[in-house]
Structure 1
Amino acid sequence: MNPEEFQKGFNAFATENKSSLKINNLKVVEGSVQNTFEYWFTKKIGMIGTINKIDGSLRSVMIVGQGDGTMESTADLFTIYVFLIAVTNPSLVPDDRGTIMTELGFFDKNNDINNMNKSTIRNGIKYSASYSKELGLLFSAGDASEKK
Structure 2
Amino acid sequence: MSQHRINKKWYVLLIAVFIVSACSAKEEATSESTPVATTESTSTTTATPEAKPEPTPEPPAEPEKQKQPEIKPYESLSDLDTFIIEFNKTSNEYGFSINKDNVEVSRGEEVLSFRYVFNDKVGIMGTIHKNDLTLRDVGVIGKPAETENEVIERLNITRSLITATNPQLSADEIDQVLLDAGLSKEISKDNSLTGSTVRNGVQYDLSFSEKNGFLLFARIAKN
Aligned position for 1:123: 200
Query: Percent identity at matched positions?
Result: 31
Q: CA deviation at 1:130?
A: 0.7
Unaligned runs of 5+ residues in structure 2 are 1-77
Number of residue pairs matched? 144
- Cα distance change of structure 1 residues 106 and 132 upon mapping to structure 2, 3 Å threshold: closer
Q: Would the aligned equivalents of 1:39 and 1:48 in 2 still touch at CA under 8 Å? A: yes
Q: Would the aligned equivalents of 1:2 and 1:58 in 2 still touch at CA under 8 Å? A: yes
1:35-69: per-residue Cα shift (whole Å, max 9, x none)? 01011111010111100011100111121102441
Aligned position for 1:66: 143
Aligned position for 2:128: 51
- Cα distance change of structure 1 residues 72 and 8 upon mapping to structure 2, 3 Å threshold: same
CA RMSD in angstroms comes to 2.2
The SS at the match of 1:23 is coil
Q: Which moved more, 1:124-133 or 1:38-47?
A: 124-133
Q: CA deviation at 1:10?
A: 0.9
Match of 1:42 among 104, 116, 119: 119
- Cα distance change of structure 1 residues 68 and 110 upon mapping to structure 2, 3 Å threshold: closer
Q: Provide TM-score, normalisation by structure 2.
A: 0.59
Q: CA deviation at 1:106?
A: 2.0
- Cα distance change of structure 1 residues 72 and 110 upon mapping to structure 2, 3 Å threshold: closer
1:9-35: per-residue Cα shift (whole Å, max 9, x none)? 1112222x2x23211132322111210
Distance in structure 2 (CA, Å) of the matches to 1:96 and 1:27: 31
Residue type at the aligned position of 1:21: F
Once the two structures are superposed, the pairs formed by residues 1-148 of structure 1 within 5 Å of their partners are 1-15=78-92, 17=93, 19-24=94-99, 25-107=102-184, 113-132=190-209, 135-145=212-222
- Cα distance change of structure 1 residues 135 and 62 upon mapping to structure 2, 3 Å threshold: farther
- Cα distance change of structure 1 residues 74 and 107 upon mapping to structure 2, 3 Å threshold: closer
Distance in structure 1 (CA, Å) of the matches to 2:183 and 2:171: 15
The SS at the match of 1:92 is coil
Residue type at the aligned position of 1:22: S
Residue type at the aligned position of 2:97: K
Distance in structure 2 (CA, Å) of the matches to 1:139 and 1:124: 16
Distance in structure 1 (CA, Å) of the matches to 2:218 and 2:139: 7
Q: Which moved more, 1:78-87 or 1:6-15?
A: 6-15
Residue type at the aligned position of 2:207: S
